[in-house]
Structure 1
Amino acid sequence: MKDITTFSFESKKNTVLVSHGRPPWYGANGLRTGDAFVVAVAGGSASGKTHVARQIVKTLGSIPTVIILSQDSFYKFHTPDELVLAHANMLDFDHPDAIDMPMFAACLADLKACKQSNIPIYSFSEHQRLRDTKYLYGATVIITEGIMALHDPALRELYDLKVFVQCDSDLMLARRIQRDLKERGREVGGILDQYLRFVKPSYDNFVRPTSSFADIIVPGSNNAVAIELICTHIRRQLADRASRFRQKIAIPHRYLLGTETCDVRVEDLNLTVLPQTRQVQGILTILRSKDTSRQDFIFFADRLSTILVECALQHLSYIPNTVVTPVGAKYTGKKLDSDSVCGVSILRSGGVLERGFRRSINNVPIGSVLVQSDVSTGEPLLLHAMLPAAVRFRHLAEHAWVFVLDSQIGTGAAAFMAIRILLDHGVRQDRIVFVTFLVALAGGVSVLRKAFPEVKIVCAAVDEEMREGWLDGYKGETNPEGVGRRLWVMQPGMGHIGDRYYL
């Protein structure tokens, strides 16, 4: 697997995302093992804060997801009278009261706690906070930058590292004039008037005094050495927080319990297993056979996924509902006790169940997460998360029913990550239904059930064995001799289901 790097610049300073895959931020008990690492970058207007933040991102290189969160996003919503003053350069944007500090702290606290957040979007040309928001999730490192980043005590409590960018006043003024002319459509007279009226007094009274809270002072130019020191510290902190447990959950009776035999029983796991009718047994036989053609594999995989989802629907909540039939008679039946049902597919093997899912639930939205194994450690990496709207907003997520789709639960590493993502968004554990073809009894499902006991798991069959092997040719930290990287294979299994379906 190659590293995937994505840069996303919002309004040229608000947000920068860099992703090389996020490793687990939780332990085998399903609970968070640590928070995201938060760095504050404060300093005067045009001192070079944004440049320092971006250089930190670039210098960090292959560090997983990094977010730059700009204080400018949290300017308060302005009234019509305030807008008139703003367009006349008469509104003070450099006073602490101009920033919605409680919202800033709340959004940062969510991101630090590995939860999703929906941050406001501010338009400098309109001098107004927009109605839309920016969805953010999955940060390993968060860099907050702004002139008041160190001013509020509630914010300072959230920071792991506090940086102040110190710059000459003349240089800051020159940069501000150049920036406002080019990026914000201002005039020189208005820029100077605003600087003398608001910016300079604010710097002297509110911004410069906060340098006393900083852990490190960085010059506003020629600061490569300081940035390298900051990045070295961040890397060390992240290394100390690393959570590696896939090997332990892959074959738990061996690595967690120290025994060679698995004494876990199906009835202990509280699984919903399809009744093994002759139809289900016939479909499973066709899907397991290596001689099955791709056309037949697709047909019977779609058929089995439809049966599975229809079985999984029994776990939803229903309430009585009375309707009138075409002949005028009343009939009391049931209706779903939820306005929100959606799916999340673990790519790409989870996509095999999507067609059956759509057949069973009309117009159902489906999101996706991409989880792949790190080539050196074998640990799962979160590379991508595109979730339905019902999950991205916490006030909706707590009422949503979410079906997680994956073709099998072997080591359980991808299932762990997908469920943890949903919990981070506010989805209730008892409203998560995991739908899968196969579950390995000797694999990570027993650890998964202990970590998330209220999650429903619906499967077509339970396989007994997880066989340990090596991926040939890779020399990694778990295998310095170069024999290969450790992997685990379900037996009898179905092979690589995603490859058989799509290739």
Structure 2
Amino acid sequence: MPDEIPIGQPNRTPTPISFQPKKNTLLVSHGRPPWYGEDGHRISDAFVVGIAGGSGSGKTHVARQIVRSLGSIPSVVILSQDSFYKHHTPEELALAHASAFDFDHPDSIDMPMFAKCLSELKGCQQSNIPVYSFTTHQRLEEPKYLYGAAIILAEGIMALQDPGLRELYDLKLFVQCDSDLMLARRIKRDVEERGRDVDGILEQYLRFVKPAYDNYVLPSQRHADIIVPGSNNTVAIDLICTHIRRKLQEQSNSFRQKMAIPHLYASPSGIMIPECRLEDLSLTILPQTRQLKGIFTILRSRTSSRQDFIFFVDRLSTVIMEYALQYLPYSSRTVTTPMEAAFTGKVMSAKYVCGVSVLRSGGALDRGFRRVLHDVPLGSLLVQSNSSDGEPLLLHVMLPVCVRKRHMAEETWVFLLDAQIGTGAAAFMAIRILLDHGVKPEHIIFVTFLVARGGGISVLRRAFPKVNIVTAGVDDTMQEGRLDGSQGEGSSGRQVWAMMPGLGQIGDRYYL
């Protein structure tokens, strides 16, 4: 998982940023707004800034200044070129430990991998970044998973040298610094952080670093959009951040209101969207038995005790999970019974299976999921509403390994758990996240207690027709209101929508 450093909450004043010395860090603040349209397709890429400059010029410091100056911004990745040094042979390792290997030549960096990982992050996909050890001079076996950035700051001495990388940048910076100051910073860093001795540092600097700077790094500044001083650069940082904010505002997308009451809004073709019929939604609805109706009666009652509510939520989640298992693939298998007779039945044949809860109401389905599938991993997503406009914000991603690695995700079946689909905004974002990771839409099984027929489910079904949705019940309407409880055009407070008759705030009733 990436290093997630909270630098603010969606409904609170942002707190000061505290950085770790590590690079390739995901910084999470206000949360990531939707990056897709009502058709489910991506409409905006992450904004990528390339930051080049000499060794010790202050590239990482400039990147961190940008994050501080942006303040309450969506999630940011600081991606370092240092991670993309090529895998070294034993002969190259011997030279490296003797300070005789040229780490400052463009050929020492795996530029195609750097461009590939950066392209994945820019395209709103997950990426697995190699981890390089400056102590052993070698890549570590386990890469670092990164996903969910709205802004990517890619920094390195050769960040502007490669044409393939330059094509990915939306803004190109070059950090200019005095050579004596760069050398002093390099000595201090290599002694304190990398365990080098001064003689080796100076030898490497004169033999490799300075020639590489003169021949490759400094000439690359002609590709920069902005030259940033290595110190006393407050004005330049403010100009850069103003530009980034404006570009992000241009990419912003808001459609939750259209999802909440879709029949009141025109479709992209200009034709009014009629209220959807239940049979057109392609939902799998549990048989409405007297037992199920009895459970819903208890769950809907405001006078039910918390103990009864939790018991029947767990019972219903178990029932619905059992019903949802029908969407997994099965193959035939012959076994021998205790009576020494052959019996041919079915066995689940999915290569990978996992669950993902949309926090926090989706957690009410976790216990039922565990009862039915006790030996598979369970991850989580945190999607909350923006306090100003109600749009969904992605704040937290913790997915199982079989989803984080794309070659595994393509063969993974995912049970996506959320208590209800009202406006469908959180469900929309959760499905889009899984698709970004390479999960096939027909491998997503969305399990929920309740769906609002008059809400965003029709938009969701048009965008993702191959996703399987299993629900225990369907309510007819969505009621518009305000967060403070007032009604009418002159009322204050953020606009909200509630399912009617609904189950209330399931997460609050289950956990509090």
Compared CA separation, residues 138 and 205, structure 1 to 2 (3 A): same
Q: Which residue of 1 aligns with 2:11?
A: 2
Secondary structure of 1:131's partner?
Answer: coil
Residue in 1 aligned with 2:5? none
- 1:62 to 1:274, Cα distance in 2 relative to 1, 3 A: same
**Cα offset, 1:7, TM superposition:** 6.1
Partner of 1:335: 347
Which residue among 99, 115, 139 is the counterpart of 2:109?
Answer: 99
**Deviation (angstroms), 1:16:** 4.9
The equivalences for 1:296-375 within 5 A come to: 296-375=308-387
Pairing 1:500–2:501 present: no
Closer, same or farther in 2 for the Cα pair 1:277/1:154, shift >3 Å?
A: same
User: Alignment partner for residue 378 of structure 1, among 362, 386, 390?
Assistant: 390
Distance 2:96 2:20 in 1: 22
Are the aligned partners of 1:36 and 1:139 in contact in 2 as well (CA < 8 Å)?
A: yes
Q: Percent identity?
A: 68
**2:31 pairs with 1:21:** yes
* 2:493 is aligned with 1:484: yes
SS at match of 1:472: coil
Pair 1:28–1:291, CA change in 2 (3 A): same
Given residue 57 of structure 1, which amino acid in structure 2 is its aligned partner?
V
SS, match of residue 89 in structure 1: coil
> What residue number does 2:6 align with?
none
Of residues 62, 69, 78, the one that matches 1:68 is 78
Give secondary structure in 2 for the equivalent of 1:345. Answer: strand
In the alignment, the residues of structure 1 paired with residue 262 and residue 290 of structure 2 have an alpha-carbon distance, to the nearest angstrom, of 32
Aligned to 1:381, what secondary structure does the other structure show?
A: strand
- Of 436, 439, 449, which residue of structure 1 is paired with 2:451? 439
| Conserved 8 A contact 1:306-1:357 | yes
Tell me the residue number matched to 2:154.
Answer: 144
More displaced stretch, 357-366 vs 403-412? 357-366
Give the corresponding residue for 1:273: 285
- Residue 416 of structure 2 aligns with which residue? 404
- Cα deviation for residue 309 of structure 1 reads 0.6
In 1, the alpha carbon distance for the partners of 2:49 and 2:272 equals 46
How far did residue 212 of structure 1 move? 0.7
- Matches of 1:5 and 1:30 in 2, distance apart? 33
CA distance in 2, matches of 1:7, 1:132: 28
Deviations along 1:155-197, one digit per CA (max 9) or x if unpaired, are 1110000000111111111111111111111111111110110
Q: Does the C-alpha gap of structure 1 residues 405 and 7 become closer, same or farther in structure 2, counting only changes over 3 Å?
A: farther
Which stretch of the first structure deviates more once superposed, 167-176 or 96-105?
167-176
Against the structure 1 CA distance between its residues 61 and 87, is the aligned structure 2 distance closer, same or farther, given a 3 Å change threshold? same
Mark the CA change 1:186 to 1:442 in structure 2 (over 3 Å): closer, same or farther: same
1:456–1:5 distance in 2 versus 1, CA, 3 Å: farther
Match of 1:423 in 2: 435
Aligned 8 A contact 2:24 2:77 in 1? no
CA-CA distance at 1:8 after TM superposition = 7.8
Contact residue 5 and residue 20 of structure 1 kept, 8 A: no
Match of 1:34 among 44, 47, 58: 44
SS of corresponding position for 2:309: helix
1:50 maps to amino acid: T
Q: Does 1:224 find its partner at 2:229?
A: no
Q: Aligned match of 1:52 in 62, 76, 86?
A: 62
Match of 2:471 in 1: 459
Letter in 1 for 2:25: T
Distance in 2 (CA, whole Å) between partners of 1:487 and 1:386 is: 27
The whole-number CA distance in structure 2 between the counterparts of 1:309 and 1:386 is 21
- Aligned 8 A contact 2:420 2:449 in 1: yes
Distance 1:57 1:228 in 2: 11
Preserved CA contact (<8 Å) 2:276 2:458: yes
1:153 correspondence with 2:182: no
What is the total number of aligned residue pairs between the two structures? 499
Provide the secondary structure at the position in 2 that maps to 1:244.
Answer: coil
Give the corresponding residue for 1:472.
484
Which of these residues, 450, 453, 461, is aligned with residue 449 of structure 1? Answer: 461
Question: Helix, strand or coil for the counterpart of 1:446?
Answer: helix
Q: Deviation at 1:473?
A: 8.3
**TM-superposition CA deviations, 1:238-276 (whole Å, max 9, x none):** 000001000111110013369999531111000000001
- Name the TM-score, length of structure 1 as normaliser: 0.96
Q: Deviation of residue 459 (structure 1)?
A: 0.4
C-alpha separation in 1, matches of 2:16 and 2:90: 38
- Among 171, 174, 195, which residue is 1:164 paired with? 174
| CA separation of 1:324 and 1:5: change in aligned 2, threshold 3 A | farther
Quick check: 1:316–1:336 contact (8 Å CA) kept in 2?
A: yes
Q: Which amino acid aligns with 1:334?
A: K
Render the CA deviation track for 1:358-383: whole Å, top value 9, x for unaligned.
11112121111111111101101111
Partner secondary structure for residue 30 of structure 2: coil
Match of 2:478, as an amino acid? Answer: M
1:248 aligned onto 2:258: yes
- For 2:494, give the aligned amino acid: R
Deviation string 1:471-495 (CA, Å, 9 cap, x unpaired) is 1289xxx99x661111001001111
Matches within 5 A, 1:82-97: 82-97=92-107
User: Per-residue deviation at 1:151?
Assistant: 1.0
RMSD between superposed Cα atoms in Å: 1.9
CA shift in 2, pair 1:338/1:261, >3 Å: closer
TM-score by length of 2: 0.94
SS in 2 for 1:69: strand
Following TM superposition, by how much is the alpha carbon of 1:20 offset from its aligned partner in structure 2, in angstroms? 1.6
Change (3 A) 1:464 1:60: same
1:221 is displaced (CA, Å) by 1.1
Q: Which runs of 5 or more residues in structure 2 are unaligned? A: 1-9
Which amino acid in 2 is paired with 1:13?
Answer: K
